[in-house]
Structure 1
C-alpha cells in the first residue's frame, strides 16, 4: 500500500470510496433514503473543493486503486477548546479494513498537526459505528456526545479526544 497526498485529480476516486464505504459502514444505522441519494458525482464536487483547501491523504493498492482516505485539520466546532486538531474523515473500502490502513492514514494527519504545533485532536464517530473501537484502541477517550438528525432519525455522535497525538505514532 502507498499513502500519498491527494491532488485535484483524485476527487472522483475519493468520492467512490466515501459513497461505497458509507453504504457498507452505515447500512442499518443511517436511513436508507439518505444512503441511496449519495452519488459519486455529488461527492466528487464536494471533494474537489475540500482538496483545494484541506489536507487529504489517500491509500492506494499495489494496483493503483484508491482504497481509503483521511482528512483532518484545525478543530471546527470550538466546543472543545482543549483540543486544537480534528480528524474530519477516514474511510476505507470494506475489503481493505482491518489491515492496518487506518493507522497509516492517520499518521500524515498527525504529522501535519504536529508541524503546526498542535498536539491534541478530536474525532466524531456515530455511536453505532463499530469503527469507534479503532479510536479507542489508539488511546482516544469519549469527551462528549453530540446529537444529530439524518432524515428524521436522531443519532448520537461520540466525540473522542486525544490529549497527546504524539502517543499514537508509537
Structure 2
C-alpha cells in the first residue's frame, strides 16, 4: 500500500499562520534583490496571518500542498484578470516554502489548480512571473507554458518586466 505524504487540498482557516509563514519565506527567497527592499518588506508585512484569515473566510480559491501534515506551499487561482480570450483561468500565486523547493512538488500544486480551473469551466490558463525570477520562469517553461505577453510591474520608479505564460 502506498502512502501519499504530499497531497493538494483546499486551504482551511486553521492554515492562516502556515500560509503567512510560507508567503514570507517564499517571497524573501524569490524576490530578495529583485523587488526593491522596502516594497518587499511592506508586501510581506501586509500578508500576515490576519490577512490570510480574511482571504480564507471569503472562500477564495486557495489550495495548499500538505506535506506530512505541514503546509509546504500554496496556489491561488481564478478567472483570468485579462478578460476575454482563450485563457479564461489564471494562477495568481504559486509558492513553496524554500524547504520544499526543488523536489517536484510545485507541479502538484500547479496540476491541482489546473484541475480546479477545469471544474470551474475556466479553460486555458495564464500565469505571470517576473522575468528576473528565473526559477519561476524556468518552472513554467518546464511545465509547457508558452510565453505569450510581457508587461511591466511598477514599484515607484522601478519597473520590473513580467512575462505571461499560457497553456491552452
Give TM-score, length-normalised by structure 2. 0.87
Unpaired stretches in structure 2, ≥5 consecutive residues: 1-5
Instruction: Give the superposed CA RMSD.
Output: 1.7
Q: How many residues align?
A: 161
Which residue of structure 2 lines up, in the alignment, with residue 148 of structure 1? 153
Which residue of structure 1 lines up, in the alignment, with residue 111 of structure 2? 107
Is 1:58 equivalent to 2:64 in the alignment? yes
Indicate conservation of the 8 Å contact 2:23/2:47, yes or no: no
In structure 1, what is the Cα distance between the partners aligned to 2:87 and 2:75? Answer: 19
In structure 1, what is the Cα distance between the partners aligned to 2:167 and 2:105? Answer: 19
Using the TM superposition, give the Cα deviation of residue 155 of structure 1 relative to its aligned residue in structure 2, in angstroms.
0.4
Residue among 97, 104, 107 paired with 2:101:
97
Distance change (3 Å), C-alpha of 1:44 and 1:159: same
Distance change (3 Å), C-alpha of 1:161 and 1:42: closer
In structure 2, what is the Cα distance between the partners aligned to 1:153 and 1:81? Answer: 30
Residue among 100, 110, 132 paired with 1:128:
132
Which residue of structure 2 lines up, in the alignment, with residue 74 of structure 1? 79
Give TM-score, length-normalised by structure 1. 0.86
Stretches (4+) displaced over 6 A: none
Unpaired stretches in structure 1, ≥5 consecutive residues: 164-170
In structure 1, what is the Cα distance between the partners aligned to 2:104 and 2:140? Answer: 13
| 3-state SS of paired residue (1:139) | coil
| 3-state SS of paired residue (1:12) | helix
Distance change (3 Å), C-alpha of 1:69 and 1:159: same
